Chain A
Amino acid sequence: MKNDNAVHTSYAPLTEQEKARLVRSTRRTDIRNIIGALFLVYGILVTATGLLDPAADRALTGGIAINLWTGISMLIASALFFVWAKFAPVPAEDILTSVENIDEKRAEGEGAL
């Protein structure tokens, strides 16, 4: 076990190109984009259900078209998540630090700090 540690001790520093790619891919899979996508799909499904069968939509609720209201609210929430991720992206330095401080994290994981 001890020996293969040596293989990992130092990572070659990332090139500018690799850094840019890492930042891009991390931002694309930001949790806000994932939730935005989930709410987009759910919003479409719920709104469509409400539009396709308006009578069923109101039958249990005492007159509120709950699928339409919920579906449209989810679509708005989805848009807000996308906008938020777009205009306040994860800082590039945060993304890069977590790759560059590997030796430090490894030491902490070994209980050496």
Chain B
Amino acid sequence: MVLEAASEGVRLDLKFVDYLMLIIYFVTVLAIGVIARRSIRTSMDFFLSGRSMPAWITGLAFVSANLGAIEILGMAANGAEIGMATMHYYFIGAVPAMVFLGLVMMPFYYGSKVRSVPEFMLRRLGKAAHLVNSIAFSVSNVLIAGINLYAMAIVVEAMLGWSQWTAIIVSAVFVLVYITLGGLSSAIYNEVMQFFVIVAGLVPLTVVGLHRVGGWNGLKTALMETDGVSRLHLSAWQGTSIGDVTNPIGANWLAIVLGLGFVLSFGYWTTNFTEVQRAFSAKNMSAARRTPLIGAFPKLLIPFVIVIPGMIAAATIGNQFADGTLTYNDAIPKLIQMYLPSGVLGVAVTGLMASFMAGMAANVSSFNTVFTYDIWQEYIKPNMPDDYYLKAGRVVSITGVVIGIFTAYLASQFGNIMTYIQTLFSFFNAPLFGVFILGLLWKRMTPAAGLWGYIAGIIAPTIVWIAYLKNPSLFATGTAETLYGAIISFVTVMVVSVAVSLFTKPKSDEELQGLVYGVGTIDVKSDHVAGDTAWYRSPALLGTVALALCVGFYLPIV
């Protein structure tokens, strides 16, 4: 029963009603751009929504900015390939970092009124580290937008039969129009809308999928009968003892906790401006702190409609993954094809298209902010009136999308090189977190230490990675290499930064007011508005509940 209805390819049979829903969505996206355009009068409105957003919107956008279609398809693929261990990316690999961002780091970020993460680097550690950080962020973000654009085109070509160029141009033009019109507000509103549409598409898919495999127990039984799947697929932590690693990630629990749960996750969620920007747009300190805390709850629930479908795919069409008819990335498109009739089909396809666009828009809207404020205003054209930077922001957005299209073209020509570039960019966040956490906790850390620690922290994992490419027996899997590479990067930052600090001159206490733990005080309640003091809006409470759920959700899948 389980292996039926598996046919070649993932082409979907969209009817008129499905296309109608897709068209309605595209029109709504543009309408949001036009509406958001009305409230843009200053560059701060364009880049940071004028710091006016309520916490529930920024919280959902915080999660949604990360919920690009590449992420959805990729995590479902992981679910099919390694099973429950994929939950680590949503639980330990996200929630502790989000809670830390909300409770510990946000008072420094939001309280210092910086407009971007690199600008915090500028205040705390000076121009050299800031320039490296700003350029690294800008370049990586605009190239990643292009690589994602190409990845999207491949999927859309397979599912809908559009040519790759049609897919690239259509999504790029829509993103271009709504970002240029409405800036970050456009991006955030669309992310919130995308979140609900993708949920409306994935929940029915999961329900039908579970029904077809005979419920949760049927899924377990079916998985056990699938080639290449073992009991380890049903648990997140088994086979991770030190010295006896048999789990599909190929790393022990300590490497998972420190590499994924600490360095990689904290690096991504607390220093990646594409994420943190959503919190910067919140209307006050309370809302900014609650942004990642509110985001933690949907983050904990999303894997149930992404990873579980991946596992259902492994159980039902595992033979096609094994013989190469399908790749693991086809898991969700294939299930949509097998299980969803016209109608819900339109919702699911719209959700995927929406998340493709939202992912790219998130990259563009953070790129334009860093490029305009941190590079153009800081180093090239300072002291211009605000209107100038607003116009510059729009021009930079257009340029970013055009470079993205060009990158997509390069990716289509040199696929492998692009994967390498992508891996290289993944080395940027871990050292940044190392530099920030040391700079936040230790006022003796010097600007020179920030620069050299950061650079050494990028070089170290690059060397490890090249060694792994030359000699793949160094690590069990590519994922394991990433975990150890992140830990090595972090340790390098600590060692180099501390050593350099001891020989160079620190900033004075006056310059570090509100930027370092224990130097000056930050009043997190000064801008409270009515309702912020309600008990259920307490950051400490929200953070505690999120962490408790994170632990609780692991219990059934230990």
Q: Residues of B contacting A66 with CB < 8 Å? A: 204, 207-208, 340-341, 343-344
Q: A36-67: contact bitstring with B at CB < 8 Å (1 yes, 0 no)?
A: 00110110011001100000110111111011
CB closest residue in chain A, given B24: A41
A1–B384 contact, CB under 8 A? Answer: yes
Chain A contact residues: over half helix, strand or loop, or mixed?
A: helix
CA distance A81 to B221 in the complex (A): 40
Taken residue by residue from 190 to 225, chain B's Cβ proximity to chain A (1 for < 8 Å, 0 otherwise) reads as: 001100110010011001100110000000000000
Task: Give, as a whole number of angstroms, the nearest-CB distance from A74 to chain B.
Answer: 6
Q: How far is the CB of B28 from chain A (nearest CB, A)?
A: 6
Give the residues in chain A near B378, CB-CB below 8 Å.
Answer: 111
B204 touches A108 (CB 8 A): no
Interfacial chain A residues near B338, Cβ < 8 Å: 60
Q: Pick the contact of A62: B17, B196, B212, B344 (CB < 8 A).
A: B212
A5 and B52 contact, Cβ closer than 8 Å, known pairs A42-B200, A66-B340, A70-B200: no
The answer to whether B476 has its CB under 8 Å from any CB of chain A is no
Tell me if B109 is interfacial: C-beta within 8 Å of chain A: no
Query: Scoring A residues 98 to 112 as 1 if CB is less than 8 Å from chain B, else 0, what string do you get?
Result: 110010011111110
Given A38-B24, A102-B42, A77–B196 Cβ distance below 8 Å? yes
Which B residues lie within 8 Å of A97 (CB)? Answer: 52
Task: Answer whether A38 and B25 are a contact pair too, CB < 8 Å, given A70-B204, A109-B42.
Answer: yes
Q: Which residues of B contact A (CB under 8 A)?
A: 5, 17, 20-21, 24-25, 28, 31-32, 35, 39, 41-45, 47, 50-52, 54, 57, 113, 115, 189, 192-193, 196-197, 200, 203-204, 207-208, 211-212, 283, 338-344, 346-347, 373, 377-378, 382-390, 529
Q: List 25 A-B contacts (CB under 8 A).
A: A1-B388, A31-B32, A34-B32, A34-B189, A42-B197, A45-B17, A45-B20, A45-B343, A46-B347, A60-B208, A60-B338, A60-B341, A63-B211, A64-B207, A64-B211, A66-B344, A70-B204, A70-B343, A94-B52, A98-B50, A98-B52, A106-B386, A109-B386, A110-B383, A110-B385
The 10 closest A-B pairs by CB, nearest first: A49-B343, A5-B385, A109-B43, A67-B343, A106-B386, A105-B44, A109-B386, A105-B42, A98-B52, A109-B44
